[in-house]
Structure 1
Amino acid sequence: MVVRFVRVLTRVLKTEWAADVLLRKHVDPVLRSRGFVRTSKVYRRYAPNGDAVVVEFQDSSSSTADEWIFYVNLALVPAPWLAWLQAPPGEARTGEPQAYDGVLSTRLSRPEAGPTIAPELAMESLLQGRIPTGMSIDDPQRWTVDSLASAHVAGAKVAELLTGAIDGFTDLLDRAVFKDRLRGGLPLPGSGPRNSALVALLVDEGPSPELDDLFAGFSGRADEFVDWARRYAFAAVTPTSRSTPPPAGS
């Protein structure tokens, strides 16, 4: 029993060591040189206004004692958007932003990953015992490390991809740049709700005709978000009156 426990512990420590090598030797130099600070497997860079870019190495539930399986998530989290997600109007937000908080987000894909089968067709293909030529059921966004050697190989690839991708996110910490791209329908480095993102950037400036026009495009379940945004915008110019929103359309 003791011998078996030691063997399992040794495999786990080897995998954790490989993960540490990937981050410390390959990712840290890329992101720290761009102003990111790491906590465990999450890197964050903040703008003076509290907006953040988050890079998260998310453990997969499929990881084992012999393999670290992970995803690399990138996200942009404006401070007002995080306030909407975390706290009612007038209350302080708690905790640092996570990748799943992003108003804009993406995942890094392995460069060698080829075309994949849609998830809804993968099981059918497995049951039939045939995979279309040139296709794969493997998730191209899933990375696997099972040794120090593979940690260095994967780490070099991740670092290279991050070097090309991260500036697209950090550029948007300049709200003027982000707003211009949202207004102009220009390409963004990730996906997310464009109108909601623009609202989150504008509420710090107080009520405006542009906000009212955006509110008019929301309906149904978005009513709560619109009500929050009105209150937040009103509080931005009258910070002592958070509990009394202006009349709609004012």
Structure 2
Amino acid sequence: MNPLDTLIREHVVPVMKAAGFAKKGRIFRRSAPNGDHAFLHIDADAVDPERFVFEASFWMVPLSSWEFAYRNHAGAGTPNASGALAACKVIPPEAAAHQPDEEGYFRSRWAFVEPDTRDLCGRELARVLTEEAVPWMVRLLDRKTLLAETRTNPNGELVRLDDATTSEILLRIDDDPVAEVTALVDKAEADGVFPPLVAWSRTRLARRTAQES
């Protein structure tokens, strides 16, 4: 077995399984009752011949975001990270970092030497997932929480992948009062926001109104 997969099996699977995530390959998925999804991805980086280097990241995919992204694809299937509205890197502590003195993108890489530091790296990843990343992912499955956190810090650790107006509409369109969301869509149209978003939103709001009447 690839040493990275051994690390995942021994240290990541127990944490994610306990939190209600299902595994496929190096991706872990948890869904909410409304169809929103959270994903944890673990991706290898072939950048160092002497160490196994990888990144861990999580992706928040509200069902509304997925359905808007794939609005022109009938039967797009089960959501995946390509429809994410927000994402975040799981940052390693210094002991498990590939380049602990770096800043920015390269600081997000985890690394271990096989077999010497694999267990150390795995334990640190499990700890960060248990104490920080997984509880955050679960909280962000609530759309109001995701909206609040993408409003307050959209380009910090949690990166908003859509503009503020698009994110607001997608996160409010299924639950907030129809009149309030319609006013938001009207303003977006007046401001020249992406016309397909306006058209899609009006159709979804009309359907919701019909279902609720």
- What TM-score do you get using the length of structure 1 for normalisation? 0.68
User: Which segment drifts farther, 148-157 or 199-208?
Assistant: 199-208
Number of equivalences = 199
Q: Which runs of structure 2 are paired with 1:122-141 in the superposition (5 Å)? A: 139-141=106-108
Cα gap change, 1:28 to 1:62, in 2 (>3 Å): same
Alignment-derived partner of residue 101 in structure 2: 114
Alignment of 1:153 onto 2:153: no
Q: Which consecutive residues of structure 2, in runs of 5 or more, have no partner in the other structure?
A: 95-99
Instruction: Check the 8 A contact 2:144/2:171 in 1, yes or no.
Output: no
Q: Which runs of structure 2 are paired with 1:168-247 in the superposition (5 Å)? A: 168-179=136-147, 181=148, 185-186=151-152, 190-192=158-160, 193=162, 194-205=164-175, 208-215=178-185, 216-217=187-188, 219-220=191-192, 222-238=194-210
Q: Which consecutive residues of structure 1, in runs of 5 or more, have no partner in the other structure?
A: 1-12, 119-137, 240-250
What is the CA–CA distance in structure 2 between the aligned matches of 1:232 and 1:149, rounded to whole Å? 54
Alignment-derived partner of residue 133 in structure 1: none
Cα gap change, 1:234 to 1:93, in 2 (>3 Å): farther
Cα gap change, 1:77 to 1:225, in 2 (>3 Å): same
What is the CA–CA distance in structure 2 between the aligned matches of 1:146 and 1:238, rounded to whole Å? 59
Q: Which runs of structure 2 are paired with 1:2-81 in the superposition (5 Å)? A: 16=2, 18-60=3-45, 62=47, 67-81=51-65
Shift of 1:28: 1.1
- What TM-score do you get using the length of structure 2 for normalisation? 0.78
Instruction: Compare CA radii of gyration and give the structure with the larger one.
Output: 1
Cα gap change, 1:237 to 1:141, in 2 (>3 Å): same
Identity of aligned residues (%): 21
Alpha-carbon displacement from aligned partner over 1:154-184 (angstroms, at most 9, x marks no partner): 11111111121221121122234445x269x
Alignment of 1:102 onto 2:87: no
